[in-house]
């Protein structure tokens, strides 16, 4: 029971041990080998039924949360997280840790993990409130736990500490936590931070997203900041987030006039996002929007169905404003399909991987807003670190030009309608008792409680926007693909 095993044997041995019930809490208490304890803990927390024995298992887990053996610590976290009285047990451990001197890194890790899963429970929430009032890493870990938690939170007791931090220790994590527990009482201070030009734009944006009414009306300062970020070609992440905020806001006529030309210069992600998330505009305003889209260089790369659905909100004449341009763009897309083979050959023949690597790293085409290669990039789409081992040049080109033709498994896009008649589009990250966790193109997670979900449809389209090739010259595209092919 304490020998190292490979993953397959490990699983088989555990399964056999569970089936035969060959081990009990006595073996766990008697064991002195951390690796054996890890295994026993995992097995016993799943098969033990007698409540006295289970209590013993959980008591043991509580002492092993900060074990030096990583498997033991991980299994202890998993076991306690599932306990029926997890809140009381973990709350007590946290309170003891916080009363002692500066917690070790191992404790901080367990604190963050269990704090995230159990933030909704009264005892753990209380411990988080204490942690918020401390300095340094303890406070950071509490902020992260709050930011990443899902479900309903007893946030009232955190408010004084969070409000204090807005005056003393502003950080992106602070705003992420406040975004989870939005409240009016934070807004005045947040608005002042967002308006402060001396601060980095990305931080000011995070601040705006934490406003309690993040949604409809925008102050003039907020609008200016968002427009500035949307026009910034260098920063894909903040640009996409800014586009989302602008799409969700109800803009005035004057704001629309300034916003639309900038949106048409941004990428297809931002434009598709606007079509999906925009608020109600009058048919007159719809015509302005249609006129702008008719001139968008990206028109042919937007999903035709999404464009039709978006414009179907208005009377037919609105769509007619852009119809000729829309049809021409569709025809151009057809023509591009026939060029796939030629582009693939170009990449094989003359693509320079080193040049392609630079394009990716520089954020061109926004690839790293969604893909990781090594340590770089965000994990919204598949990790591309070894993509060259499974895809040819032609497949890579096709993925970039027409992402929806070849959907990678587990990345199917879903549309979820909620009781308030809103349409949420994204990748389903998990399903749990708290509901469905959806991730959108900006990487934002949203939990939709089961009671509010009205319908759920899997779409035939990719979250990856088509037409990202427009951000590259043919030579650059060949370089990019040659580089992707070299990743094995």
Binding stretches for ligand HEC (CB under 6 A): 269, 365-367, 369-371, 380-382, 387, 391, 396, 399-400, 403, 406-408, 411, 441, 462-464, 468, 480
Q: How far is the CB of 408 from ligand HEC (least distance, A)?
A: 3
230 in Cβ contact with 263 (< 8 Å)? yes
List C-alpha distances in Å: 38 to 14, 139, 446. Answer: 11, 29, 33
Beta-carbon count within 10 A of 16 CB: 11
Residue whose structure tokens are 């340590």: 375
CB of 365 to ligand HEC, least distance (A): 3
Q: Least CB distance from residue 363 to ligand HEC, whole Å?
A: 9
Residue 36 vs 278, nearer CB to ligand HEC: 278
Beta strand pairing call for 413-418 and 435-439: unpaired
Q: Which of 360, 367, 413, 362 is closest to 269 using CA atoms?
A: 367
Closer CB to ligand HEC, residue 226 or residue 463?
A: 463
Is the distance from CB of 406 to CB of 399 less than 8 angstroms?
Answer: yes
Q: How far is the CB of 391 from ligand HEC (least distance, A)?
A: 6
Whole-angstrom Cα distance, residue 424 to residue 416?
5
- Please, which residue, 195 or 202, has the CB nearer to ligand HEC? 202
Looking at the DSSP assignment, which residues form a beta bridge with residue 376?
373
- CB–CB of 311/290 below 8 Å? yes
Tally Cβ neighbours within 10 Å of residue 406.
11
User: Which of 282, 406 has the CB closer to ligand HEC?
Assistant: 406
Distance CA 155, CA 179 (A): 12
> Could you tell me the smallest distance in angstroms from the CB atom of residue 398 to ligand HEC?
9
Phi, psi for residue 436 in degrees, rounded to 5: -100, 130
Minimum distance of ligand HEC from residue 278's CB (angstroms): 18
Instruction: Concatenate the DSSP letters of all residues of 373-404 into one string.
Output: BTTBS-SSS---TTGGGT--HHHHHHHHH-GG
Distance between alpha carbon 116 and the CA centroid of its chain, in Å? 15
- Do the beta carbons of residue 394 and residue 339 sit within 8 Å? no
Distance of CA 471 to the CA centre of its chain: 24
Helix (H, G, I), strand (E, B) or coil at 436: strand
Residue 233 in tokens: 């070609």
| 77 vs 366 by CB, closer to ligand HEC | 366
- In whole angstroms, how close is the CB of 269 to ligand HEC at the nearest point? 5
* Cβ distance to ligand HEC smaller for residue 267 or 435: 267
- Counting DSSP H helices and E strands in the chain, the numbers are 24, 5
């Amino acid at each position: 029971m304490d020998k190292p095993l490979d993953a397959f044997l490990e699983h088989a041995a555990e399964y056999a041990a569970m089936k035969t019930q060959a081990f009990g809490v006595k073996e766990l208490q008697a064991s002195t080998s951390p690796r054996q304890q890890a295994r026993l803990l995992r097995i016993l927390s799943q098969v033990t039924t007698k409540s006295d024995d289970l209590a013993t298992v959980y008591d043991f887990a509580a002492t092993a949360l900060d074990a030096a053996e990583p498997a033991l610590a991980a299994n202890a976290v998993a076991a306690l997280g599932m306990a029926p009285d997890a809140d009381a047990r973990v709350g007590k451990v946290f309170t003891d840790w916080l009363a002692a001197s500066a917690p070790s890194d191992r404790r901080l890790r367990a604190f963050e993990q269990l704090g995230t899963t159990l933030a909704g429970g009264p005892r753990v929430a209380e411990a988080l409130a204490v942690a918020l009032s401390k300095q340094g890493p303890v406070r950071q870990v509490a902020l992260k736990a709050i930011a990443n938690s899902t479900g309903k939170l007893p946030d009232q007791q955190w408010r004084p500490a969070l409000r204090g931090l807005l005056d003393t220790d502003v950080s992106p994590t602070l705003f992420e936590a406040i975004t989870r527990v939005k409240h009016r009482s934070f807004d005045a201070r947040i608005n002042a931070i967002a308006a402060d030009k001396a601060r980095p734009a990305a931080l000011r944006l995070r601040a705006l997203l934490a406003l309690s009414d993040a949604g409809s009306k925008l102050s003039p300062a907020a609008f200016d900041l968002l427009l500035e970020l949307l026009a910034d070609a260098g920063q894909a992440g903040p640009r996409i987030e800014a586009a989302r905020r602008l799409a969700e806001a109800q803009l005035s006529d004057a704001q629309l006039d300034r916003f639309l030309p900038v949106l048409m210069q941004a990428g297809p992600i931002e434009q598709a996002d606007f079509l999906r998330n925009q608020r109600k505009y009058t048919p007159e305003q719809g015509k302005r929007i249609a006129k702008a889209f008719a001139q968008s260089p990206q028109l042919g790369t937007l999903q035709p169905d999404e464009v039709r659905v978006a414009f179907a909100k208005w009377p037919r004449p609105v769509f007619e404003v852009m119809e000729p341009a829309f049809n021409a763009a569709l025809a151009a897309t057809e023509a591009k399909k026939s060029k796939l083979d030629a582009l693939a050959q170009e990449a094989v023949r003359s693509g320079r991987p080193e040049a392609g690597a630079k394009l990716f790293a520089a954020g061109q085409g926004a690839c790293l807003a969604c893909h990781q290669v090594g340590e770089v990039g965000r994990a919204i789409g598949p990790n591309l670190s070894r993509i060259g081992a499974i895809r040819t040049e032609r497949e890579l080109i096709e993925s970039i030009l027409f992402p929806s033709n070849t959907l990678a498994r587990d990345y199917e896009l879903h549309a979820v309608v909620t009781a308030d008649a809103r349409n949420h589009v994204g990748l389903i990250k998990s399903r749990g008792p708290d509901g469905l966790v959806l991730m959108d193109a900006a990487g934002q997670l949203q939990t939709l409680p089961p009671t509010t979900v009205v319908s759920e449809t899997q779409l035939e389209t990719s979250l990856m926007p088509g037409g990202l090739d427009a951000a590259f010259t043919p030579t650059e595209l060949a370089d990019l693909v040659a580089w992707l092919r070299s990743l094995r």
